[in-house]
Amino acid sequence: MHNVIRFLLFWGVNTLSLWVADELFDGIAFANTQTLVLAGLVLGIVNTFLKPILVILTLPITVLTLGLFLLVINGLTLFLVAQLVDGFHLAGFGTAIGIALAVSVISFFLNAMLGLRK
């Protein structure tokens, strides 16, 4: 698959996952559609470049918690995206962890349905 098409599909999956989370939960809000699309893009960029670094740096605590610390990392990346994108609001860090879990599950199923692998 061409890299540009693959990038656009992942961006779409991120955006759709955030939209579904917005519809399901009260602790997340977007000012408008442009904010949602921008948040999907920024989330993809953060997950591509920053998240692997965080996973490596926190590997000992992740092993000690049997992988549960990855939920904190996912929440942290989502909370960071909310801080970077004007008009994207999360109720707090705890909410970010819960919503990040939902976004991860939704993204997993969407990627599986589309046949995408990272």
Q: Return the pLDDT at 64.
A: 97
* DSSP SS3 for 33: helix
* DSSP SS3 for 32: coil
pLDDT band at 118 (very low <50, low <70, confident <90, very high): low
Average pLDDT over residues 105-109: 94
* pTM of this structure: 0.92
Interval 20-78: pLDDT, tens = 999 999 999 999 999 999 999 999 999 999 999 999 999 999 999 999 999 999 999 99
DSSP H helical ranges for 50-92:
51-57, 59-64, 69-84
C-alpha torsion sign, points 5, 21, 107, 62: positive
Dist CA 55 CA 70 (whole Å): 7
DSSP 27: S
Give yes or no for a contact between 22 and 36, defined as CB atoms under 8 angstroms apart.
Answer: yes
AA identity, residue 4: V
